[in-house]
Amino acid sequence: MGERVRKSMINAEVNLLFYFLSLFLAFFSRKIFLDCLGSEFIGLTGTLSNILGYLNLAELGITASIGYFLYRPLQSKNRQEIQNILSLLGYLYNWIGCFILLGGIIISLFFPLIFARSELGFGIIYFAFYSFLGSSLIGYFINYRQTLLSADQKNYLVAIYMQSAGIVKTGIQIFLAYTYQNLYVWVGIEFLFGLLGCIVLNWKINKEYPWLKVEKRRGRQLLKQYPEIIAKTKQVFIHRIKDFVLRRSDELFIFGFTTLEMVAVYGNYTMIVSKISLMFNTVLNSVNAGVGNLVAEGDKNKMVNVFWELMTIRHFVAGVLSFSIFYFIEPFISLWLGDIYILDRTILVLLVVYIYMENSRGVVDIYNHAHGLYGDVWAAWAELAINITVTIIAGLKWGIAGILLGKIVSVAIIVVLWKPYYLFKSGLQMSVKYYWSGTIRYYLILLVSFIVGNWCIHQIPFSPFANFFSWAGYCLLGLAAYVLCNATLLWIFAKGTKESYYRIKNMRR
């Protein structure tokens, strides 16, 4: 188990490092690009990326299902089966790549209509689109083998090579944009580094797995040998489509039930929440492949012990995030943008409830994936139906609060109640009462921690609305009180707390 934890921590540290580097560079470079290349060109790149995002829907499910099927042969070091599965992945990705290429060509025929009002020439529009399309297709035709690195807990290698290339690329683009202000040069660098990153990553894969031989031409034969891969992929596809629709529908509902001004105001909140959540998830999701390998071993006692360790960490992080958003986001927005951009308190309460549910669900999702439990496709349709129904009814009456209520109700019924039952019944094969006997403790600890934190917050003798220095001090004192209370209660009452602490402490040592 030590090797698994070591790899998970390497993945977490590398991903976190590149998260902060990329975040800093993103804010800095956007200003340069807007000034030197123009807002219309930056808007064009965003629009083209969204178009490619819809085309890439064709992939949903394959990478996840292939990752699941790689865990067991990696555990048993069955090289022939690994080669077979990757050969099948290469074959499937060839077809998907051809589909995306054809779809891209067809969509590009309508660019004279789509970009009729654009002041940019069609030369740069087509050049940019086909460069982005080419970079995307590299992943399907060449880079698909990186799935093996992820399943083998070596995703840090992908981060090191690909994100290092991305940082160097952005640096060169900043210099050339500032020097020449040439749109074609910017796009050309984008494509060139996509190609170079692919070459370097494949060189590293060949070095890590010199025995790996992928034969795409055997794909049709392997489809008959591994019919369960296609069945699993269809199941995962439905779950991913559901997630995609729910994310996109939020924007449409908010626009439909409120004003454009409210869309912008709510967008300020979601932008802050998404950035903070991404930081935590960058670290927490580094254990995914490790859990997959653990499940492949088949030791139920280890699975259950690690489950509670991860649950403690997830609920602790979800609580810190929820407490921070509830008490600190309003003064931050007031200082950043002004009081007119602060939302109604009811909306904030519902947003915090949803944040906690979404960020504490991860362990059950990881274990369901590790067990290949995607057969509950009805749950995906049910979550979608519940979300849309409640959102329409409540959204018409309460606006953004109603939209958040729709998300909370659907997640509560399907994710909070059903998914753990499905995992313990079909995966761990234990009574779900065992799950709830431990999980209810987290909710009670959260409640007590919020009450104590709230009392401590009101004892702070200065206002966070005064200036950013006061806000920072307010955050440090308030968060310290919450963390101390929450960590103490988890240590005394929650399963897995001591084990997770000593495991991390020993690995850091």
Confirm whether 125 is domain-assigned. Answer: yes
Contact status, residue 490 vs residue 497, Cβ threshold 8 Å: yes
- Are residues 473 and 403 located together in one domain of the fold? yes
Residue 178 has pLDDT above 50, yes or no: yes
Mean pLDDT (the chain) is 86
Residue 19 has pLDDT above 80, yes or no: no
Q: Supply the pTM of this predicted model.
A: 0.78
Which pLDDT belongs to residue 252? Answer: 65
pLDDT tens-digit readout, 265-318: 787 788 788 778 877 777 777 777 778 888 888 888 989 999 999 999 999 999
- Among 171, 191, 225, identify where a domain stops: 225
- Are residues 205 and 279 located together in one domain of the fold? no
Residue 1 has pLDDT above 50, yes or no: no
Q: Is 495 helix (H, G, I), strand (E, B) or coil?
A: coil
- Are residues 362 and 484 located together in one domain of the fold? yes
- Among 208, 225, 242, identify where a domain stops: 225
H and E: helices and strands count for the chain: 23, 0
- Are residues 270 and 156 located together in one domain of the fold? no
Confirm whether 233 is domain-assigned. Answer: no
Question: Which of 20 and 314 is assigned the larger pLDDT?
Answer: 314
pLDDT tens-digit readout, 327-354: 999 999 899 888 888 989 999 999 999 9
Domain limits for position 82: 2-225
- Are residues 271 and 219 located together in one domain of the fold? no
- Are residues 191 and 115 located together in one domain of the fold? yes
- Are residues 205 and 258 located together in one domain of the fold? no
Residue 308 tokens read as 């509670």
Selection from 321, 278, 280, 287 nearest residue 500 by Cα = 287
Confirm whether 44 is domain-assigned. Answer: yes
- What percent of the chain shows pLDDT beyond 90? 41
Confirm whether 246 is domain-assigned. Answer: no
Q: State residue 188 phi and psi, 5-degree precision.
A: -60, -40
* Maximum separation of any 2 CA atoms in the chain, in Å: 72
Least confident of 256-260, 363-367, 429-433, 484-488: 256-260
SS3 string, 349-380, reads HHHHHHHHHHHHCHHHHHHHHHCCCCCCHHHH
- Are residues 402 and 353 located together in one domain of the fold? yes
- Are residues 336 and 451 located together in one domain of the fold? yes
Which pLDDT belongs to residue 499? Answer: 87
- Are residues 440 and 394 located together in one domain of the fold? yes
Residue 97 has pLDDT above 60, yes or no: yes
- Among 225, 259, 285, identify where a domain stops: 225
Confirm whether 405 is domain-assigned. Answer: yes
Compute the average pLDDT of residues 222-248.
Answer: 80
Compute the average pLDDT of residues 401-408.
Answer: 93
Residue 390, Cα to own-chain centre: how many angstroms?
25
pLDDT tens-digit readout, 438-477: 999 999 999 999 999 999 999 999 999 999 999 999 999 9
Confirm whether 242 is domain-assigned. Answer: no
Residue 54 tokens read as 């819809």
Confirm whether 160 is domain-assigned. Answer: yes
Confirm whether 89 is domain-assigned. Answer: yes
- Are residues 277 and 176 located together in one domain of the fold? no
* C-beta neighbour count of 298 within 10 angstroms: 10
pLDDT tens-digit readout, 473-504: 999 999 999 999 999 999 999 988 888 888 77
Percentages helix, strand, coil for the chain (3-state, rounded to 5) are 85, 0, 15
Q: State the total domains in the chain.
A: 2
Residue where the block lists tokens 């996109």: 248
- Are residues 170 and 255 located together in one domain of the fold? no
Compute the average pLDDT of residues 204-227.
Answer: 86
User: What single DSSP character describes residue 211?
Assistant: T
